[in-house]
A and B are shown apart, each in its own frame.
Chain A
C-alpha cells in the first residue's frame, strides 16, 4: 500500500505554493540598494584579432559608471577547468586560458569583449553600442574533422586544435582489433550526437555585492553548486578567500547541467561590484544564453560491433570526436572520456571494448555536461548499433539484447566500472508488456491502411550516477572530491533544520529530503526545514548534477541523522537512568527495552539544550551533527524504453504515438517526483531526437540563437508517457539503496525514438538518419530511398 508520509510516499511538494503564487525568489527577482547593471558587448564574429577597442564614447554616455575591458582583468586569473585528462602519450590535455573578457582575440560568437556598468539596463545597453571594436577576421574553425587536419588554430597552445587524444582502455586495443578482424559479422555505424543547448527556462543571472565594512564579497547566482563556484572563483580567478566570499544560489529555474559551471559573468559582477562600489547585476537574455551558456553533446562517432554467428557480442570499438568549443568549461574534458568511455559496455557482457576520443577546439561556445553528460552519447551509439546489428543478423532486437544482457551482479565491465545491481530482463519484460508490443503488428497494419508508416523502437540504458567516489575521480583527473556534506540541527523544541550541500533547481529536495528525515526520526515532515544554496548557511557542498542529490547528498543526511539518533539515545539513557544499549528508538519515542519507561522526541531534544541534569563531562549539550558522505561506487540506474511512432511518408513528419519507460532507480523516496523527473528527461531526449539542434554555419555564425530557430519541444509535440519503476534492484552501497533518476529519460529516449523511426522506414532500407529527425531530413531519406524501394 502507498505510504502517506516518509520514504515511499508521494508527498506533495512544499516548494510548490511559493512558485504557484508568484513568490519564488529567483536571482533576477532580487535587487539591492544602489544596484547598477552590466551589459556585455559580445563578439559577433567567430574568430578574430582585436586590433583596437575604443570605449571613450561609451564612457561618456549617460548613466555609465565604467567600461571594462581585458586590461581591467590583468591581475586576475582565467575561468578554470576542474578536470584534467591525460592523453594517450601521458601528456596533460592542452588547457588554454579562458579570460573573463577576451584578451587579444575573440574565439566564438558571444565571446565577451567589453562590459558596460551603468545606472540602468537600458543605459548599459545603449552605451555598449558606442564601443568601437576593430576586429581582424581570422578563419573560423568550425568542423571538427577540418579542425584536426591543419590550418587555422583556435589557440596557439594547441596548434592542431587537439585538446587531448585518449585511448581507453589502452591495453585492450590490440585484442579488440583482432576480435573485430576475426568476427563472423561486424556492424558498422557512423553517427553524430547533435549539439544541444540546455535552455533552462530561467536565463542565467548574477548579482555581485561588496561590503567594504567587513571586506565581504557576495555573489547571488543561478548555480547548481554555490560552494563549487565559491571555490573556483575565489581561489582561481579573483583570489578571494572563502571566509570573505559568500555565494548564494536561491531559487534556480532549471539547470540541466548548464548551471554547474563557473562562468565569466559571475566573476565579472563580483569583481566589478568592488571596483564601482555598487552592487552590479547581470541578467542574460535568451539570445545571450544561446551564445554563452555551455552547450551539450556534439560528438561525431564511428562504431564497430563484432558478433559471432549467434549474435553474441565479441568486441566493440568506437572512435569519437568531441567538440570542446573555444575554451574548456568546468567539467568539459571528463564528459567524452570518464563519463562516456566507462559506459561503453552498456547493459551487455561485451568482453572487449576499446575507444579513442579526440577532444577538439573549435570557434564555438564551450561544450560541457548537459543532462546525462557522456552517458547519453554512449547509450546512443550502443543502442543504435545494437538495433542495426539486430536487423543485419535477422534477430529480433529484444532477443539480441537479451542474448547479451549482463545477468550476474556485481559485474566488472572491461571499461573500469563495476555495476552493483540491476535486472535488465525485468525492465525489458515490463516495457514490452506495458507498450503492448504483441499488438504492434495490428497497429502497424492500421497505420498502413491510412498510408502511414508505423515503427516500434527499443532502447536499453545504463548510467553511472551518484557522482562519485573521490578516490576514483581523483585518479581520473578530477581536481575536486565529489562527496557531499549535510548538517542536521535539532532545535530545542524538536523542530529540525537540515543544511545540505545539494542544490534544488526543480528536483524537489525540500520535500524529498524532509521525507527521509521524517521517516528516520518518526516526526512530522512539516517539522523539518531543508536549507540549501547559501555558502554562509550550509557548511560545504559539491552541488547537484549527475543524479547525485539523493544518492550522495541524501546519504550525507542519513549519516547525520544516524549520529543524531545515537546521541539522542545517550541523552535518553541518562534521563531514563538506563544503559544506552537498552534504549530503543521507534516512531519518535525513546524507550527502555522491556519496560514501560519512555521519552518523546521533544523531551530529549529539549534536554539536549537544557542540560540541567546532565553528565556534562561525558555528554556535550546540543543536538547537531555534520557528515561528509563519500560514495563507495557510482550508482547504476538502468532501464528499458519503448517508443512507437508514425511517419508520414509524404511529409517526413514523425509523430510520437506512445512512449513507455521501465526504469530501475533502486529504492524510490517520492514516486510522484521520480515520475516527474522521468517525464522531463524523456521530453529533453525526444527533443534531441526529433527537433533540437544547435547549428553553426561555415563561418562560425550561430544560426540557432533564439526559440524561433532552435526548436524546443512543446506540449503538442509530445504524448503522455507511461512510466514504471517497479523493477527495482536497490543500490548495494548507499544507505537508502537509491540510484538517481534525473538523467535517465534524456539518456534512454533518443535511441528508442530513432530506432522506432528506422523501424517504420525499414521497407526503404534506410540504415540511419542523424538526429534531429526533422521532417525535412526524414523526407529526404525516404525520397532518396524511393527508387530502390520501387525497384524491388
Chain B
C-alpha cells in the first residue's frame, strides 16, 4: 500500500492507503473528519467538496494517493482557531442557508471558492456556480442570499476565511 503525506487543515499526516481509497474515505474514515459528506456515487451532489491546493475538488472523485503532498482544507478547517465562523459560514446562519445540514459543508466550501475568484457575483452567477452542489431542503433561495450577503461583507473589508 502506498504511503502518502497530506496536509489537512494545516496538520501534516502520513498514512498508508489502498490504491482504491478515495480522498473522502481518507478524510472521514482515517482522519475522523466527518464534516465532509458523501451524498452520491456519481460526483454530482457536491456534499464531499473540499479544497485541494486552494481549488474545489469533489473528494469522492479523487484518490487519496493523488492527494499526496497536497494541502487539503475541509469544512473543519474553515472557522477560526477560536471557533469564530468565517464570513461565509456566518452568512449561511444569518440567512438560513441550511436546513438538514448535510449538503452544507460542500455548499460552504463551494461558495468560499466562488468568492475567492469572483468578489461580486450576480445572482445568476451564484446559481450557475452552484451547479455542482445539490441541496434538497432549501430550494437554494437562502443559499444564494447567503452567498450574495457574504460577498457584500467581504467587499466591506472582512477577510474571506481563517484558513
Contacts and interface: CB of A to CB of B under 8 A. Distances in A.
Interface in B116-163: 123-124, 126-128, 130-131, 133-145
B100 A716 contact: no
Contacts of A26: 34, 37, 102
A15 B37 CA distance: 17
A720 B144 contact: yes
Contact of B96 (A21, A672, A708, A716): A672
Interface in A112-146: 122
Interface of B: 18, 20, 28-29, 33-42, 44-45, 47, 74-76, 78-79, 83, 85, 89, 92-94, 96, 98-105, 108, 123-124, 126-128, 130-131, 133-145
14 contacts: A20-B101, A201-B37, A201-B39, A202-B37, A251-B100, A254-B99, A285-B38, A287-B41, A679-B138, A680-B138, A681-B139, A684-B139, A714-B127, A718-B139
A55 to B, nearest CB: 24
A28 B29 CA distance: 10
Given A122-B20, A715-B126, A254 B102 contact: yes
A12 interface: yes
A253 B102 contact: yes
A22 to B, nearest CB: 2
Given A20-B89, A672-B96, A712 B42 contact: no
A302 interface: no
Contacts of B98: 16, 19-20
B134 A712 contact: yes
Given A680-B138, A706-B42, A716-B128, A506 B78 contact: no
A256 interface: yes
Interface string A214-254: 00000000000000000000000000000000000001111
A201 B138 contact: no
Given A20-B85, A285-B41, A707 B134 contact: yes
Among B83, B101, B103, B105: residue with most chain A CB under 10 A: B101
Given A13-B93, A721-B139, 20 more contacts: A12-B96, A16-B92, A22-B34, A22-B74, A22-B105, A201-B100, A201-B136, A201-B137, A252-B100, A253-B100, A253-B102, A254-B137, A256-B136, A286-B41, A672-B96, A683-B138, A707-B42, A714-B130, A715-B128, A715-B143
Contact of A506 (B42, B137, B145): B137
Interface string A17-49: 111111110101101000000000000000000
A676 interface: yes
Interface in A161-218: 199-203
B105 A720 contact: no
Contacts of B103: 201, 253
Contacts of A23: 35, 76
Nearest to A721: B141
Contact of B100 (A28, A200, A679, A713): A200
Nearest to B132: A714
A177 B64 CA distance: 67
B44 A707 contact: yes
B124 to A, nearest CB: 8
A96 interface: no
A598 interface: no
A531 interface: no
Contacts of B44: 706-708, 712
B131 A680 contact: no
Contacts of B143: 715
B130 A716 contact: yes
A477 B77 CA distance: 52
Given A12-B93, A507-B99, A716-B128, A679 B139 contact: yes
A505 interface: yes
B35 A24 contact: yes
Interface string A654-687: 0000000000000000001101100111111000
A251 B142 contact: no
Contacts of B89: 20-21
Given A21-B85, A22-B33, A201-B47, A13 B96 contact: yes
Nearest to A256: B136
B99 A715 contact: no
A676 B142 contact: yes
Interface in A337-370: none
Among B47, B138, B143, B145: residue with most chain A CB under 10 A: B138
A465 B128 CA distance: 36
Nearest to B44: A707
A459 B47 CA distance: 34
Nearest to A31: B29
Contacts of A253: 37, 39, 100-103
A715 B41 contact: no
B137 A680 contact: yes
Contact of B101 (A15, A672, A681, A707): A15
